[in-house]
Amino acid sequence: MIFCAIICEYNPLHAGHAYQIAEAKRLSGADAVLCVMSGNFVQRGEAAILDKYTRAKHAVLAGADAVIELPAAFATSCAELFAKGGVKLLSSLPNVKYLSFGAETPNAELFHQTAALLNDEPTALKEGVKRGLAAGKSLVRARADALGEIADNSLLLSPNDTLGVEYARAVHSMNADIKLLPVQRLGAGYHDKQASGEYPSATSIREKLKTGEDISALSVPDFVRKDLKSAKDYTAALTLMENHAALSAAASELAKTVDCGEGLENAVKKSLANGLPVVESLTSARYTSSRIRRILLQNLLHVTREKVFSALECPLYLRLLAAKKSPELLSALSQGEYPLLVRGADEPALSQQAADCYETDLYAQSVYTLLSGEPPKKTILLDE
């Protein structure tokens, strides 16, 4: 059984995602689509509006065949580590031959060329990044501008294309036998907050839910719309938990989180001491709001730099969230290097390092349970 994989969040799943799943299967000719999906917390440093099992169920109902969880250590990290974590899991399965992703520029060769250039880090690129940082730009913006100067390349100016480049870099660095399959992104842009049109962004859908607007006309599958009625915005409650955790932590502990650096731990502590909203007070051209949110979330979930890089170096696991009821499918997922976790009885198969990573997933689940007030669900198997 040949898999085409998709690394995703589906927060929430919408018409554009359903289109990409269908295109991934059509263009690859694969037997099945395997999603690697963030759990209850996502890469923007936020809690997902629906729990991971519900979102995984939506993916299967939209055409995917199975969904495994991207460990929280990677799901709450920057784009580079998010991509590396996903590709690490996929490269453990010999039957994963394709990796599909939405892109503004659906040119696989250009992604490979850009990844190779960034991995080689020519002197001109390094100098351009330094100039950008000195001018007060964020690392992401400085790198994008430096790349444009030496290669007339604008891939890093789009969030989806930027993530595609990170997938390509991860495939290269891990020597994974996986072919990139970018699919033309349709409709609203990643950050677009207007939930209109046939293909709205997930951001726009979340904004509409926050304001209590009518969701009956949203361009999402009916099974998603039904569950969105119980979706929640956890921002206020999560912020309270994060602020308490950051107040309780020493600055040296904050500095151990993956996204912290350049003295940001001291800035966080100062903002809290002065009663300022941390994200709003520290967001700037140099430091994005997503980075500040990730630092706070990583501290809350104990996602340290050491833990993430240790997880990248050791054998891990495939935590099944949802799948079609198919013995052949489950057999194919069990043929890789990592154990397939479907129930609690499977956990003793984990190595000590993998168990440490999994403990972070369990802790993240406990935090989300406190936020939602609902007991955690179990793996969902759906009839074909």
The closest of 338, 336, 335, 333 to 316, measured between CA atoms, is: 338
pLDDT, mean over the chain: 92
Task: Examine residue 342 and state whether it is found in any structural domain, yes or no.
Answer: yes
pLDDT at 152: 67
Tokens of 321: 């969230």
**Same structural domain for residues 328 and 297?**
no
Distance of CA 147 to the CA centre of its chain: 24
pLDDT at 191: 47
Is pLDDT above 90 for 354?
yes
For residue range 279-312, list pLDDT tens digits in order.
999 999 899 999 999 999 999 999 999 999 999 9
Q: Supply the pTM of this predicted model.
A: 0.93
The closest of 182, 178, 184, 173 to 3, measured between CA atoms, is: 178
For residue range 143-179, list pLDDT tens digits in order.
888 888 887 667 777 888 889 999 999 999 999 999 9
pLDDT at 189: 47
Q: What is the CATH number of the domain that holds 170?
A: 3.40.50.620
Task: Examine residue 149 and state whether it is found in any structural domain, yes or no.
Answer: no
The whole-angstrom separation of Cα 180 and Cα 168 is: 7
**Same structural domain for residues 360 and 274?**
no
**Same structural domain for residues 177 and 282?**
no
- Among the three residues 270, 286, 306, which one is the final residue of a domain in this structure? 306
Beta bridge partners of 4: 33, 98
pLDDT at 360: 97
- Among the three residues 278, 306, 334, which one is the final residue of a domain in this structure? 306
Query: How long is the chain?
Result: 384
Residue 169 is which amino acid? Answer: R
CB atoms within 10 A of CB 10: 26
Count of the separate structural domains present in the chain: 2
Range of the domain at 50: 3-120+155-192+316-382
**Same structural domain for residues 38 and 166?**
yes
Cis peptide before 12 (omega within 30 of 0): yes
**Same structural domain for residues 239 and 288?**
yes
